[in-house]
Structure 1
């Protein structure tokens, strides 16, 4: 089984509980206006990798990793591959001494996820569903707009996320990563965050050649 992947990153500290790994899928058929991750929209077949390769990358994570966050793109646009990935991650985390939660983002509504993707939800500990609505930004912690929910799904999910359901976003919203050829932002910026970052870079003589988050 193969899955389209935009990137993977460790550590991630702005998309869920604790110190995490992030997996971003490639391809999104929803295309929310104002999305800051438009580089993940194109369902480019050249981004396909084996699900086993992603699981192997996770197997090399440090022992203290607290969770995996899967975003995109839209993970549920690849239902069979995404389910295969969740099954592989479920097996992997069962063999670890430390509890690892699985959190996924989706632009689909909670009702659609429950009706069409029950097998996926059964393997997740929490989900953040709902389209990004720029007019309702910013949202609560780890959420881009106020309409988006944080829904715990398992006992571990309730343990880690019940207290976060209504928590404000706070000031630490984004971090920066690089793969050598590009710089990417991780997290859920509030309106103006990326413009302010770009201005700060310009004051230091740095500039983006292109930026997928610009309108």
Structure 2
């Protein structure tokens, strides 16, 4: 693989963005600029780091060996890098039949061009639509009521059908801390103020709150 992806961050294991334990990749660059977005640090297309798709596939292999259930790709807008992402996902598809791919895109499916659709066809679960802060939802893994969760494969239907309309009492939020006092969190808040409250709580506990959890292992 000679394609490169510009990434904002990566983390394993992720437990708040899809079924089971997952590898999470956040791509860099998004022109949609949805008001209230919790990941503004991923908007700048010049930010983040460039990573070879082959190296990322090695990361996926290690995650599979560690018992991961799937890969979640968010951002940023992943389908702006459709060619490189597609190169990665074609490799992922050859690794395991029980490893699902969940992808977040701010586009509706009808807005995708041919290359973006081709990459979307490699995905088990597609969560589509711009974030709309004035349309909150309690449905799991979605940030606003307009967003749809499309189940595109038998594996997706097996694992995710029960979650299509599921509304937990509180959204799953994963908090990670390090010995040197840094902290970050992963999840999809169901209220615009949740990010601010989480950041304040972690800061009050003495942690330096980071938006980036990129780690090369």
After TM superposition, the score normalised by the length of structure 2 is 0.85
Three-state SS of the structure 2 residue aligned to 1:177 is: strand
Change (3 A) 1:6 1:205: closer
Counterpart check, 1:70 vs 2:69: no
| 2:215 match | none
What CA RMSD, in Å, does the superposition of the two structures yield over aligned residues? 2.4
**What's the CA shift for 1:28?**
0.8
Deviation string, structure 1 residues 134-176 (Cα, Å, up to 9, x no partner)? 0012341100001101110011111111111111143242212
Question: Which residue of 2 is the match for residue 147 of structure 1?
Answer: 146
Residues 79, 93 of structure 1: CA spacing in aligned structure 2 closer, same or farther, 3 A cutoff?
same
**Which residue pairs with 2:185 in the alignment?**
185
Query: Structure 1 10/202 Cα, relative in aligned 2: closer, same or farther at 3 Å?
Result: closer
How many matched pairs? 207
Report the Cα offset of residue 92 of structure 1: 2.5
Equivalent residue of 2:101, what SS?
strand
| Distance apart, 1:202 and its partner CA | 4.6
Q: Which residue of 1 aligns with 2:200?
A: 199
8 Å Cα contact 2:8-2:48 kept in structure 1: no
Hey, what does 2:23 align to over in structure 1? 21
Offset at residue 45 of structure 1 (A): 6.3
Q: Following the alignment from structure 1 to structure 2, what is the Cα–Cα distance between the partners of residues 188 and 4?
A: 22
Secondary structure of the 1:175 match is: strand
1:162 is matched with 161
> Tell me, what secondary structure is at the counterpart of 2:162?
helix
**Which shows bigger deviation, 167-176 or 48-57?**
167-176
Change (3 A) 1:34 1:45: closer
What do residues 96-117 of structure 1 show as CA deviations (whole Å, max 9, x unaligned)?
xxx1100100000121238663
**Residue by residue, what CA displacement relative to the aligned partner does 1:31-82 show, whole Å, maximum 9, x if unpaired?**
1110000111111266111000111111112442111100011000111111
| Counterpart-to-counterpart distance in 2, 1:169 and 1:136 | 17
TM-score (norm 1): 0.86
Stretches of structure 2 lacking an aligned partner (at least 5 in a row): 213-217
Matching residue within 39, 42, 64 for 1:40: 42
Quote the offset at 1:5 in angstroms.
Answer: 0.9
Unaligned runs of 5+ in 1: none
Report deviation, 1:195: 2.6
Distance 1:133 1:84 in 2: 31
| Pair 1:91-2:91 in alignment | no
- State the partner residue of 1:113: 112
Cα 1:45–1:146, aligned 2, differ >3 Å: closer, same or farther? closer
More deviation in 172-181 or 115-124?
Answer: 172-181
